[in-house]
Amino acid sequence: MAEEHATTGGMTRQPVDLLEHPEQHATVSRHDLHEFESRLLSDLFAIVEEHTADGRTDIDRERVEAAFIFACEHHADQRRKSGEDFIVHPVGVAKICAGMRLDTATLCAALLHDTVEDTSASLDEVREQFGDEVATLVDGVTKLTGITFQSRDEAQAENYRKMMVAMASDLRVILIKLADRLHNMRTIGAMAKQKQIDKARETLEIYAPIAHRLGIHAIKWELEDLAFATLHPRKYQDIKGLVNQQRIEREDYVEKAGQYLNRELEAVGIRAEISGRAKHFYSIYSKMTRKGREFNEIYDLTAMRVQVDSVKDCYGAVGVIHSLWKPLPGRFKDFIAMPKFNMYQSLHTTVIGPEGLPLEIQIRTREMHDMAEFGVAAHWIYKEGPGARGKPAPPEGESKLKWLRSMLDWQQELQDPKEFMENLKVDLFDEEVFVFTPKGEVKSHAAGATPLDFAYEIHTELGHRCVGAKVNGKIVPLHYQLKSGDIVEVLTSKRERGPSRDWLAVVKTTRARNKIKQWFKQESRQDTEHSGRTLLQEHLTKAGLPPQ
């Protein structure tokens, strides 16, 4: 079912033979665009245009237009709760997808995403007119739309697993789904109050974390702020008010500091684009509640973003910044050398800026910026998109695979949906530590991870044979909590030993826990099989039958 049920309104449409390019739309039923519809379509194409200009996408507009017309016709008599024509919604979703620079098939599927569920259109029709790729995407989204999450109930968790599978088969399905949710959240005001609360909670518990995991921060932040505004309207207004109080001063401060920095960077030959960065209300709120801080104790409200041309310039820029303003100890983070699990890369530092005020600065290249905003979507475009500029993808290509792999692992191994949900929470919300193998490879883990997690991350066998570990050259207990920068060496036994049940209490990551459980499951299966066979043989012998 669609997230918002379409209601049937009284809009009538007169078919007129006024196609602009009749020969190109031979398979599309005839339809003229109302003025309102033409405007919607050109809004969408305006976004496409923006990204075509920078050479990163190459959209087949005729196909997109055909999908638009198909959607207009099939949603013709439907209205949204707000009273608007339903077509506003699929176009809204397609616009968000276009903003992520997704491809033609995704834009078509976004436009068509509610047609099979909510209108007389069939999946076969969609396939016939738009091909297999689009039909498969529409089908994927339709299936996901049938799933609703109320809470962390088992049934919901089971649904979540289905979602993971859909994602693993084609990430574009979840990207459309996220865009769908975002558009629905933007227009949530028209819904009944209880429904608003349910949707907002689900958004905060399920969709925002997925966006985070996929590295799509542009969507994550907006989803969070919209859900926050719905769930805690008063707190939202409070924080918004506080942020706005000194907004002008803050923006002014960042701008002046930025101009100064720009001149200094230019002097050493680094070209930079410097901008202020707005903090998101929900992130301020969660910082206040999580760390028990008052609003005025959150000192990184003033933030600056520095975009440069190359990785080398990132490090060059941070050198200049630290020579101009004193860095706050412990606040410099190198997520370029050590990307986060969701492919995020940047240098972070906080300095005591001009006027003695703390200033948070992020330094990144343009590619890194796209990754930070669009995550997997950006990665996918850089790597496979038709507009890819032939640059090698950043090294985190692996992260995407790693992510998909863990999704599939979970799906296959976790029998208990409730446990799945708990694991997901752990994996999504924990901070990360970065440790090294003896060869200097970086591995990232959830905070609190132990040498056992590290061993299982590298290889299942390595985990099973682990007897101890050395951290920075010293033997440590297996429950040792890894810290960023540790060099970890796993000590193994020569012969196959298998894990110990106690390890389940020690490990922190889903992967390690699953591998250990799997080992025991297999072992007990072998036991059961063995005793079953013996029992059968005994009975057969008793009955005087040959025990083969």
| Residue 193 C-beta: closest distance to Mn ion, Å | 21
Q: Which one of the listed residues 118, 202, 205, 373 is annotated catalytic?
A: 118
180 versus 205: smaller Cβ distance to Mn ion? 180
Stretch that binds Mn ion, among 111-119, 265-273, 490-498, 506-514 (CB under 5 A): 111-119
| Residue 2 C-beta: closest distance to Mn ion, Å | 5
Q: Could you tell me how far CA 390 lies from the centroid of its own chain?
A: 25
| Residue 442 C-beta: closest distance to Mn ion, Å | 40
* Rounded-to-integer distance, Cα 141 and Cα 127, Å: 14
Of 126, 120, 79, 77, the residue nearest 105 (C-alpha): 126
Q: Catalytic annotation on 117?
A: yes
89 versus 101: smaller Cβ distance to Mn ion? 89
Torsion sign over Cα 117, 121, 125, 131? negative
470: which strand partners?
Answer: 475, 489
What count of residues does the chain have?
548
DSSP secondary structure string for all residues of 60-127: -HHHHHHHHHHHHHHTTTEE-TTSSBTTHHHHHHHHHHHHTT--HHHHHHHHHTTHHHHSS--HHHHH
| Residue 89 C-beta: closest distance to Mn ion, Å | 6
73 versus 114: smaller Cβ distance to Mn ion? 114
Q: Is 117 in the site for Mn ion (CB under 5 A)?
A: no
| Residue 407 C-beta: closest distance to Mn ion, Å | 23
By the 10 Å C-beta count (0-12 exposed, 13-18 middle, 19+ buried), 353 is classed as buried
Q: Furthest-apart CA pair in the chain: how many Å?
A: 97
Q: Could you tell me how far CA 537 lies from the centroid of its own chain?
A: 55
Stretch that binds Mn ion, among 77-85, 113-121, 314-322, 425-433 (CB under 5 A): 113-121
- Site string (58-97) toward Mn ion, x via CB under 5 A: ----------------------------------------
Q: Is 367 in the site for Mn ion (CB under 5 A)?
A: no
180 versus 313: smaller Cβ distance to Mn ion? 180
Q: Could you tell me how far CA 425 lies from the centroid of its own chain?
A: 14
Q: Are 281 and 240 in contact (CB under 8 A)?
A: yes
Stretch that binds Mn ion, among 106-114, 306-314, 439-447, 511-519 (CB under 5 A): 106-114
Size of the site for Mn ion (CB under 5 A): 2
Instruction: Specify the DSSP element, H or E, that contains 338.
Output: none
Give 525's contacts (C-beta < 8 A, 6+ positions apart): none
Q: Catalytic annotation on 58?
A: no
Of 219, 117, 210, 99, the residue nearest 163 (C-alpha): 210
116 versus 361: smaller Cβ distance to Mn ion? 116
* Rounded-to-integer distance, Cα 262 and Cα 362, Å: 14
Helix (H, G, I), strand (E, B) or coil at 394: coil
Q: Are 423 and 410 in contact (CB under 8 A)?
A: yes
| Residue 72 C-beta: closest distance to Mn ion, Å | 15
6 versus 284: smaller Cβ distance to Mn ion? 6
112 versus 243: smaller Cβ distance to Mn ion? 112
| Residue 157 C-beta: closest distance to Mn ion, Å | 23
Stretch that binds Mn ion, among 7-15, 172-180, 316-324, 479-487 (CB under 5 A): 172-180
Stretch that binds Mn ion, among 180-188, 280-288, 450-458, 466-474 (CB under 5 A): 180-188
* Rounded-to-integer distance, Cα 474 and Cα 287, Å: 36
Q: Is 114 in the site for Mn ion (CB under 5 A)?
A: yes
| Residue 3 C-beta: closest distance to Mn ion, Å | 5
Stretch that binds Mn ion, among 35-43, 123-131, 178-186, 413-421 (CB under 5 A): 178-186
Of 443, 445, 508, 437, the residue nearest 471 (C-alpha): 437
Stretch that binds Mn ion, among 107-115, 227-235, 330-338, 508-516 (CB under 5 A): 107-115
Q: Are 406 and 251 in contact (CB under 8 A)?
A: no
> Which residue do the tokens 């099989």 mark?
529
Beta-carbon count within 10 A of 349 CB: 19
Q: Which one of the listed residues 3, 103, 117, 180 is annotated catalytic?
A: 117
86 versus 285: smaller Cβ distance to Mn ion? 86
Residue nearest to Mn ion (CB): 180
| Residue 91 C-beta: closest distance to Mn ion, Å | 11
71 versus 304: smaller Cβ distance to Mn ion? 71
Angle at 320 between CA 317 and CA 322, to 5 degrees: 110
Of 172, 167, 219, 175, the residue nearest 404 (C-alpha): 167
Q: Are 167 and 159 in contact (CB under 8 A)?
A: no
| Residue 114 C-beta: closest distance to Mn ion, Å | 5
Q: Name which position in 103, 118, 180, 202 contacts Mn ion (CB under 5 A).
A: 180
146 versus 485: smaller Cβ distance to Mn ion? 146
> Which residue do the tokens 């901008």 mark?
275
Residues that bind Mn ion (CB under 5 A): 114, 180
Active site residues: 117-118
